[in-house]
Amino acid sequence: MTSDSLSQQLKDLGLELGFAQIGIAPAVMPTGFHRLLQWIHNDYSAGMKWIELRKDAYRHPAGVMPGTRSVIMAAMNYHDGATSSGGGRVARYAWGSADYHDVLKPRLRQLAAFLRTAMPDSRNRVVIDTAPLLERDFGRLAGIGWFGKNTMLISRSIGSWFFLGAVLTDLELAYDEPVEQNFCGSCTRCLDACPTAAFPEPGVLDARRCISYLTIEHRKAPIPHELRQGIGDWLFGCDICQEVCPWNRFAPDTTLREFQQISAMNAVDCCELLTLSTTQFEARFKDSPLSRPARAGLLRNAAIVLGNSGDPSAEPALTAALGDVEPMIRGAAAWALGRLQTPNAFAAIESQLLMEADASVRDEMVMALQNR
């Protein structure tokens, strides 16, 4: 079988499996490698230290699988046309009934199995954003799209609402033409819309200010005070820079059943969320991306969303959260009650302050009382 024939059959199979686009790139040092090193040097990676620890492995796909010659990139749309409906907002990619890793991985394995059947001596490895591979760089090299000013990979045919997965192989396949042109033009909607000013320049993201990073990966510490108001109503992740992107008017409205929205995941009741015990939290979110920040991180986020809402009806839930076992949740609840600025909210903070033993939480309470 020729490389052209094998590559085309592989692409046809990928489309049958539900991928929106399949592209193939040669295994080379990605052009973004040196930008990655500069990004790390500028401390824009924030607390994601695993990126720096593995930075040398990003130099070439061989750092993931020795002998790699080709990188097969697969894009899967997760846009279903639904709109957000209030409450604690969740990034669109997590609206469905399953974690995307669990959906993409078996399909990518079928692509790898096809290669092994066609070429029994071939070596192949499936990758979904956990290995040190610059997926977006190889997505561009494989002809799927270009880098937007919001750092997202954007496709002219499906926008940017898609997951990326890869199959590394030691086979030499037929390669697609890379996307060399940037089609953003003079548009800066994504940069202008970011409420926390997370883009120091076009095409560069400072994770320390990114709502997605703050609400998901920054899960073991309080969110900095100066960024809390910018969180707005985002409970988990953020889609603002994609929502305003003109190219997403081309996004398909059909996706796999697993990615179609569940209303309770589209807009979460933050007051109800604050009542969940550890056992209840794990039972509810065990198969969902929302488990990533763990209970302390997600409930901290819920308190901040309620504080930003200014809704006095959140007062009972936040008052109860002042007695949570997690200091980070208690501190966020105190901040949120201070934002509500009601007599009962301030009274609740004063009462709990008399019993609070954690110094950081006491500091939050004292600062909250200064809002009177």
Model confidence pLDDT, tens digit, residues 165-210: 999 999 999 999 999 999 999 999 999 999 999 999 999 999 999 9
For position 173, what pLDDT does the model report? 98
For position 265, what pLDDT does the model report? 83
Q: Quick one: 22 and 142 in the same domain?
A: yes
**Domain containing 319 — which CATH number?**
1.25.10.10
Q: Quick one: 17 and 125 in the same domain?
A: yes
For position 282, what pLDDT does the model report? 96
Three-state secondary-structure class, residue 24:
strand
How many whole angstroms separate alpha carbon 213 and alpha carbon 65?
28
Q: Is the pLDDT of residue 238 over 80?
A: yes
Q: Choose one of 108, 139, 169: the last residue of a domain.
A: 169
Q: For 8-91, where are the E strands, in sequence order?
A: 21-26, 70-77, 88-90
The stretch 2-16 carries a mean pLDDT of: 97
Q: How confident is the model at residue 262 (pLDDT cuts 50, 70, 90)?
A: confident
In a domain, 298, yes or no: yes
Q: Is the pLDDT of residue 313 over 80?
A: yes
Asked whether 331 and 303 are in contact (CB, 8 A), the reply is: no
Q: Quick one: 156 and 273 in the same domain?
A: no
For position 94, what pLDDT does the model report? 95
Q: Quick one: 273 and 126 in the same domain?
A: no
Element (H, E) at 230: helix 225-231
Q: Quick one: 19 and 165 in the same domain?
A: yes
In a domain, 175, yes or no: no
In a domain, 252, yes or no: no
Using a pLDDT cut of 70, give the percent of the chain over it: 100
Segments forming the whole domain that contains residue 22: 3-169
In a domain, 292, yes or no: yes
For position 263, what pLDDT does the model report? 78
For position 332, what pLDDT does the model report? 98
- Chain mean position to CA 315: 30
For position 270, what pLDDT does the model report? 97
Q: Quick one: 163 and 285 in the same domain?
A: no
In a domain, 209, yes or no: no
Q: Choose one of 153, 169, 185: the last residue of a domain.
A: 169
Q: Note the pLDDT tens digit of each residue in 27-77.
A: 999 999 999 999 999 999 999 999 999 999 999 999 999 999 999 999 999
Other CB atoms within a 10 A radius of the CB of residue 221 amount to 13
How many whole angstroms separate alpha carbon 123 and alpha carbon 236?
37
Q: Look at the block and give the residue holding tokens 């796999």.
A: 256
Q: How confident is the model at residue 13 (pLDDT cuts 50, 70, 90)?
A: very high
Q: Quick one: 151 and 295 in the same domain?
A: no
Q: Note the pLDDT tens digit of each residue in 218-234.
A: 999 999 999 999 999 99
Helices vs. strands in the chain: H and E counts, helices first: 17, 9
In a domain, 259, yes or no: no
The stretch 11-36 carries a mean pLDDT of: 98
For position 371, what pLDDT does the model report? 87
- Chain mean position to CA 102: 16
Report the domain count for the chain: 2
192 labelled catalytic: no
Q: Note the pLDDT tens digit of each residue in 321-353.
A: 999 999 999 999 999 999 999 999 999 999 999
The residue type of 244 is V
In a domain, 196, yes or no: no
User: Which pTM does this prediction carry?
Assistant: 0.96
Which residues, in sequence order, are CB contacts of 38 under 8 Å at separation 6+? none
The DSSP string of 246-292 is GGGGG--S---GGGS--HHHHEE-HHHHTT--HHHHHHHHTTSGGGT
How many whole angstroms separate alpha carbon 135 and alpha carbon 91?
20
Q: Quick one: 14 and 161 in the same domain?
A: yes
Q: Quick one: 12 and 158 in the same domain?
A: yes
In a domain, 110, yes or no: yes
For position 221, what pLDDT does the model report? 97
Q: Is the pLDDT of residue 364 over 80?
A: yes
Using CA atoms, how far residue 328 sits from 222, 292, 301, 364, in Å, is: 6, 16, 10, 10
Asked whether 97 and 90 are in contact (CB, 8 A), the reply is: no
Rounded to 5 degrees, φ, ψ at 94 are: -105, 15
Among 129, 192, 269, 287, the one annotated catalytic = 129
Q: Choose one of 143, 169, 195: the last residue of a domain.
A: 169
Alpha-carbon torsion, ordered 97, 100, 105, 106, to 10 deg: 20
Q: Quick one: 22 and 158 in the same domain?
A: yes
